[in-house]
Structure formats: C-alpha cells, structure tokens
Structure 1
Amino acid sequence: MSPQRSNRAQLIEGTLRCLERLPPERITARAIAAESGANLASITYHFGSKDNLITEAVIEGLDRWLADISRRLTGLAGSSPAARFRRAAEIMESSRDEHTGLAHNFLSALAKAHHDPRVRTLLAAGYHRTRPTLASVLDLGSDQPGTDAAGLVLALFHGLLFQSLLDPSLTISGPRMHHAQTRLLRVLPDTDE
C-alpha cells in the first residue's frame, strides 16, 4: 500500500474514533490529526477539508454498521424477509449506543448537504450503494421494487434513530416495533403493482 493510501486510511480511522467519543462541535482538524497520527496538512491534501473527511468517515462508519448487521443476520439465511427485518431492527437497536456519535455526525452531514454539493454527492453515493446492499441483506429482491423497499427501511431506521437521539423514550423497538408494523400493514390499503 502506498504511503498516500495509508495516510488517507489513517485519517478515516482516526476520524471514526473521534466520532465515537467526541460531540460534533469538538471534532477539530487537530483532534483528527492527533487521533490518526497523521499530519494536519494531510487532511486538506486528501479530502479538501475537515468537513469532507468527516462526511467520508461517517459514510464509512454507516457502511461498517450495515456490514455488521449483515454479518449478524447470516444465521437467518432462508428465513422470511419479515423475520430478517425484525432481527435487523433488533440488531440496530442493540448497537445504537455504540454508534451515537456516528449518528449525530450523520445528521450534521445531512444538514450540510443542502449547501455543500460535495457533501450531497458523497451522501447520495452512499445511499445508492446502501439501498441494494440492504435489499440483499433483507432478501427484498434485486429489482427496483426491492431497492425501493430498502430505501423505505433506511428511512424508517434513520428516522427512528434520529428521534431516539433527541429523546431515548422515543425509541420504538422489540414488541412495540412488531405491533407498529402490524398496525401499519392492517390500515394501509393494499394496492396493485
């Protein structure tokens, strides 16, 4: 591996560690450089700015979180999509606390995306990559409706995650999640495709 790639990877890893333990406003370029063992100027060299680095690290962290959920679902191969969904929701809930910093910074990146085309492009690329991956993990299918269903699942998971960041009592998990799903399926009209 070339020194440049290694330094870039070091910066991502250092930023991920900062995301785990620091609130967004305390993640400075100096903190990232110190945590990663990289030169402060290498942030601009590799990423253009600290914000771009944080956004790329957030996306990497979210990809890793999804990969962890996927690994933990491997024992459910052949089970129904509903069972896989329930288990994925349980895994996400049980691992939420270890990813709170990541979630806060993801929310911050979403807010910046409106004004920063590079951040918007990075986040959109992450969603384009994640939707088919999640569709596969949940066995929703590899066609457009499967990818769209994965988009709805992401919206549900992210929305619940963001609500729980505001107030943990807003968390909906376990039996409450199951009952809420059942209620939605009962009251939403069935439509033909």
Structure 2
Amino acid sequence: MGHREDLLEGAKRLLATKGYAHITARDLVAESETNLASIGYHFGSKEALLNAAVIDSFNDWDEEIERAIDARPGDAPADRLEAFLDGVIRGVTGNRALAMASVQAFAQFEYAPELRDQLAATYDQARREVAAVLLERDDLDDDTARRVGSLALAVINGLVLQWLIDPERAPSAADLAAALRTIASS
C-alpha cells in the first residue's frame, strides 16, 4: 500500500475512534505511519483527507446492504427498500462511531465547498444506484432515478440519525416499509 492508501485507511480508523472534529494532522501521520508532507501531496489538506475518508467509508457499508438486497430478488420495491434499510441499520449499529463521524463531516460542508461538491457528486451517483437496486432496473430515465433515489436517500439519512440519537425508539426497516405501503395505498 502506498502513502495515499495508508493515509486514507488511517483516517478512516481515526474517524471511527476520534470523530471528525478531533483529528489532528499529527494523529493522521502517526496512525498511517507516513509524514506530514504526504497529506499535502496526496490530498492538499488534512480536511480534504478526512473528507475523502468519509466519502470512502460510505462504501464500507455496501457489503451489508448488498447482502440484504441480494436476499430479496424479484420482491416488490417496498420489500427491497426494507431489506436495504435492514442493511443500513446493521451498518449503523455495527459501526456507530463511523456513522457519527459521517454526521460530523456533513456539518462541515457549509464551510468547505470542496466537501459540498464531493457530497453532491456522491449523492447524485447514489440516487441512480439506489433507485436501480430498489426497482431492479438499470434502464431508468433521469427523472425516475432522481425521484426514487432522492426518496430513498431521505429515508436512509433520517433513519441513520434516528438510530444514532435514540436506537431504542428508532423505527425498524419493517416499520418504514409498512409506513410507505400505507401512504402508497391511501
């Protein structure tokens, strides 16, 4: 692994243990066993490195979600959403610290235009991917992908926050899927 990858992996470990706001450049260097110049060379700044680590950490939940979705081929979209949300909940409960670090990073986008741009691009891509998974179709028109993906991401973001704030009273994936079915049938 090169310095770039070492820095990225070290930043992800630190996000999980210290949170976004409490990581110093020296922490990153010590954790990755690199040097201060490597941060600037590969990422431009400590913040850019942390932002890249947060974005990259979203991919770490993909396995949980893919396993949940793959168990439900041919199901209705609401059932696939339920499976998807089950995977999200497992990701949050399995790595609460990283989920918290992601929330802390989101709070930074107002002051970091490059993070806002990265998140916007990530969300744009995620809308299409989530919609394709839920509808089991890759040939979605742009409006359908945007609408379905945006609804799913809004539900996912709200679910993550509820599980972080109050896991005892947070809704289950089944609760949310049932609520969507109720709304759709009304």
Q: Same fold (TM over 0.5)?
A: yes
Q: What corresponds to 1:89 in structure 2? A: 85
Give the structure-2-normalised TM-score.
0.86
- Which structure has more relative contact order (CA 8 Å, sep 6+)? It is 2
Q: What corresponds to 2:7 in structure 1? A: 11
Matched, 1:143 2:144: no
| 1:117 Cα deviation from its structure 2 partner | 1.2
- Counterparts in 2 of 1:1-193, with a 5 A limit? 6-139=2-135, 141=137, 142-144=140-142, 145-187=144-186
Q: 1:129-177: CA deviations, max 9, x gaps?
A: 2121212222264222133211211111111211322222341104422
Give the 4+ runs in structure 1 shifted more than 4 A: none
Of the structure 1 ranges 176-185 and 106-115, higher mean CA displacement relative to structure 2 is found in: 176-185
What is the aligned residue count?
183
SS at match of 1:115: coil
Of the structure 1 ranges 71-80 and 11-20, higher mean CA displacement relative to structure 2 is found in: 71-80
Q: 1:78-111: CA deviations, max 9, x gaps?
A: 2222221111111211221223222222222222
CA shift in 2, pair 1:24/1:136, >3 Å? same
**Aligned counterparts of 1:86 and 1:122: Cα–Cα separation in 2:** 28
Structure 1 unaligned segments of length 5 or more: list them: 188-193
Q: Percent identity?
A: 33
SS at match of 2:168: helix
Q: What corresponds to 1:191 in structure 2? A: none
Q: What corresponds to 1:190 in structure 2? A: none
SS at match of 2:79: helix
Structure 2 unaligned segments of length 5 or more: list them: none
Give the structure-1-normalised TM-score.
0.83
Q: Is the 8 A contact 2:19 2:97 kept in 1?
A: yes
Q: What CA RMSD, in Å, does the superposition of the two structures yield over aligned residues?
A: 2.1
Of the structure 1 ranges 85-94 and 136-145, higher mean CA displacement relative to structure 2 is found in: 136-145
**Aligned counterparts of 1:127 and 1:88: Cα–Cα separation in 2:** 16
Q: Which amino acid aligns with 1:63?
A: N
**Aligned counterparts of 1:40 and 1:71: Cα–Cα separation in 2:** 39
**Aligned counterparts of 2:154 and 2:43: Cα–Cα separation in 1:** 28
SS at match of 1:112: coil
Q: Which amino acid aligns with 1:23?
A: G
SS at match of 1:77: coil
